[in-house]
Amino acid sequence: MTVTWTIFRREFASFFVTPTAYIIAAGFMLFTGVFFSQEFQVAAVRRIPINPATIPSLVSYMLVFFAPLFTMRLFAEEKREGTVELLLTAPVSEASIVVAKFMAAWAYVTILLGITLVYQAILATYAPQDIGHTILAYIGIWLYSGTVISIGMMFSALTENQIVSAFSSLLTLLILYVGDGVGGIIGNIQLSEIMRSLSLEAHYSTSFAAGLFRAEDAAFYAGVIVIMLFLTMRILESNRWR
């Protein structure tokens, strides 16, 4: 546990010693900011309500593009620098390494999500907010972000090339994201239903974002995270076996 904490701290700190993480965060906040101010302007002028899940729902889309940017380096960089060899020869289990790195990336995204609370605060000063709905939407997007990170991390462990890692996770996430609306393309309702139940967005948009907590959606995200962490461990281990 101490060891996991040590790796977590190093990993988490590494986000903040390079300018990259700040620039990613700035880009992320710029996109959300532009979108939010547009929504706000329209709503304020026409005096119509703003859905509390507006910002979290936007984040769910943006994470598809932003998450690979900071998950790509998780393992790919260690492999490139050779530090993975030292980590794996230290008295540390693969589980500790994988969990610590995952938690560090998740903590980083949690901070990003925390910054977007600024927008919720602005909304609260202008109109009464449905606090329960807002909190649930944020819990949902938090679980969602964990899932996205776990997938990105898995791809990072597969390769030592950061670009390959980022691109393959972006592609996967995009497919998992649009799976929600794939019915528009394929038209077959049974197939669309299956695609939907596998897509990331479908477990968020109709429950967490609507203010309804569904146990199975939380289980879906937790399950994908567990599977991805397990796969990452195995991939990491396979470096030894090949």
Partner 1 sequence: MIEVKSLTRLYGEVIAVDHISFKAASGEIVGLLGPNGAGKTTTMRMLTGFLPPTSGSAKIGKYDIVEDSMEARRRVGYLPERVPLYQDMTVFGYILFWAQLRQVKAPRDRTVDVLKRFDLLGRRDKLVRQLSKGLRQRLGLAQALVHDPPVIILDEPTIGIDPQQVIEVRQAVRDLRKSHTVLFSTHILSEAEEICDRVVIIDKGRIVAQGTPDALEKQVRANSFTLEVGRLAPERVLEVLRAIPGVASVKRRDAHFSVETDGSRDVRGDISGAIVAAGGELLEMKQVKSSLEDVFLRAVQSAADNPQGQKKS
Partner 2 sequence: MTQKSGYVLTRGRAAQIASFVGITGLITGAIGMVWRSGASANYALIAIIIGGLGIALWAGLTPREFRETITGKRVRYGTVTIVSTALLIGIVTLTYMLLQSAALTLDVTQNQSFTLSQETLNVLRRVSRPIRLTGFYTARNLAARELDDQFFRLYTTATNGLIERDYIDPEQNPAMAGRFGVQEDGQLYISYLDAAGEIDMTTVSRVPRGESQERDVTQAISRMLIAGTIKIYFATGADERDAFDTTAEGIAGINNGIRESGLLTDTLNISQIAMANGDIPNDAAALIITRPLRDLTGAETDVIRRYMDGGGGLLLMPDVTYNEDRFMSETGTFNTWLWQTFGLRALDAAVVDPDASASSALDVISAVVFTESPIASRINPEAGTQTLFRVARVVEADLLSTPANIANGRIIMTTPFGFGERNLADLGATNTFGFDEGEDIPGPVSTAVWATHQVTGSRVVLIGDSDFVSNGQVLSAPGNGILFTDALSWVSGFSDEIQFAPQAFTSGLPTVFVSQQQVDLVVFLSVILVPGILLVSGLAIYARRVRR
Query: Where on the chain is the footprint of partner 1 (CB under 8 A)?
Result: 2-3, 6-7, 10, 14, 17-18, 81-93, 240-242
CB of 39 vs partner 2, minimal distance in Å: 10
By a kind-dependent CB cut-off of 5 to 8 A, residue 121 interacts, out of partner 2, partner 1, none, with none
Taking CA 83 as the corner, what is the angle to CA 143 and CA 86, rounded to the nearest 5 degrees? 105
Name the binder of 188 from partner 1, partner 2, none, CB < 5-8 A by kind.
partner 2
What backbone phi and psi angles, to 5 degrees, belong to 93? -85, 155
Q: Which is nearer to partner 2, 41 or 93 (CB)?
A: 41
- Measured from the CB atom, the residue of 80 and 133 that comes closer to partner 1 is 80
82 phi, psi to nearest 5 deg:
80, 0
Nearest to 152 by CA among 71, 40, 49, 48: 71
Distance between CA atoms of residues 242 and 222, nearest Å? 30
207 binds, among partner 1, partner 2, none (CB under 5 to 8 A by kind): partner 2
State the nearest-atom distance from the C-beta of 10 to partner 1, in Å: 5
In the bound state with partner 1, the residue whose beta carbon lies nearer, of 14 and 129, is 14
Give CA–CA dist 14/101, Å, rounded.
11
Nearer CB in complex with partner 2: 3/211: 211
What are the residues whose beta carbons fall under 8 Å from the beta carbon of 202, sequence distance 6 or more?
179, 180, 196
